[in-house]
Amino acid sequence: MHAHWNLDDRHRWEAFSDEALAGLQQSWAYGQAMQALGVPCLRVVITQDSSPKSPWLAAAQFIVQRLPWFVRFGFCQAGPMWAVNTPAAVQREALEWMRRTVPLRRPRMALFSPAVDSGTAHALSHRLQLATGRSTVLLDLKRPETERRAAIEQRWRNRLNAAERSPLKLRVCGSKSSDYEWLIQAEAAQRRERRYLSLPSGFVSAFQSANRKPSQALLTLAAELKHQPCAGMLFLVHGSTATYHLGWADDTGRENSAHNLLLWQACGLLAERGVQQLDLGGVNTQSNPGLARFKLGAGGRVVTWAGTYW
């Protein structure tokens, strides 16, 4: 088995991640965006023999950070990605190769937070668990629209029906930064008010610039009343999957259930683009119960990831 670090093969990486329905943090554009923001990124590919052109068994992207006492660690979130039907024994061996060969000066650590359901056996089960996993909601956009609507929780669907009857007007925003900057600024003010954390505001433009087709990297929707925006949502598109990134609503938007309408319409538009799965992001019923209820009611599959392992 061989580990190939920092191969410059974006086309193959993106095909591999598409097949795996990989999360945002394993997308090539995410790594490029983080590097543009000053955060180093490492990528590794595992093959059975010494040639990187051989079939890939696994691929993983690490964001590099530094702990106190100069300990460097690479954090692989939502990964590694595996080839279909990779045996558990092969996965464990591949993970050991990644840990042993990570190109960081010592002292160093390689941490993994795999996209594996909590409670199920996985290749890191025998390792030390440092943190429990977060929960999220995954929407299957391959299902027909009628099935997706039927899966929505009843009260959520009632709000959607009310929003569809309301005078709200939906607008798909353009792909230029000037077309969505209003939403980023509105959400930043909301973040300061409610005191929650998120990626830096410059991440969106960096992510878009890192995409081979920048105009297809984002989907931004606005809900308007009397030609004034009262709510908005922005989604990051990474191959066959997409991730809800941020949203904002004022009192008028909340009163008219604008976010229900925005998310429902976004699902249809993303499905038309060929996106197969939408990740609604973290669900935390303690720190933000309102947002958690909104995501849980949207008709997706709730998963709690296995956690972070050393």
Q: What percentage of the chain carries pLDDT values higher than 90?
A: 88
Confidence of residue 287 (pLDDT cuts 50, 70, 90): confident
What mean pLDDT is predicted for residues 123-141?
95
**CA–CA distance from 148 to each of 43, 143, 182, 258, 270 (Å)?**
36, 6, 30, 19, 13
Tell me the whole-structure pTM to 2 decimals.
0.95
User: What's the total number of domains in the chain?
Assistant: 2
Report the run of H or E that residue 261 belongs to, with start and end.
Answer: helix 258-272
Phi/psi for 179 (5° steps) reads: -80, -20
Q: How far apart are CA 44 and CA 102, in angstroms?
A: 8
pLDDT at 197: 80
Cβ within 8 Å of residue 90, ≥6 positions away = 57
> Among 43-57, 188-202, 237-251, whose mean pLDDT is lowest?
188-202
Tell me: the pLDDT tens digits for 170-181? 999 999 999 999
* Residue 132 counted as domain residue: no
Residue 200: pLDDT over 90: no
pLDDT for 282 equals 87
Q: Coil, strand, or helix at residue 242?
A: strand
Question: Rounded mean pLDDT of 138-158?
Answer: 97
Instruction: For residues 65 and 120, state if they share a domain.
Output: yes
- Containing 74, the helix (H) or strand (E) segment is strand 72-77
End-to-end Cα, the chain, rounded Å: 21
Question: Are 174 and 211 part of one and the same domain?
Answer: yes
9, pLDDT greater than 90: yes
Q: Residue 61's domain is classified under what CATH number? A: 3.40.630.30
Instruction: Report the C-alpha gap between 30 and 204 in whole angstroms.
Output: 10
Structural domain harbouring 21: 2-127
User: What is the total residue count of the chain?
Assistant: 310
pLDDT given at position 70 = 79
Gap between the Cα atoms of 85 and 57, Å rounded: 10
User: At which of 104, 127, 150 does a domain end?
Assistant: 127
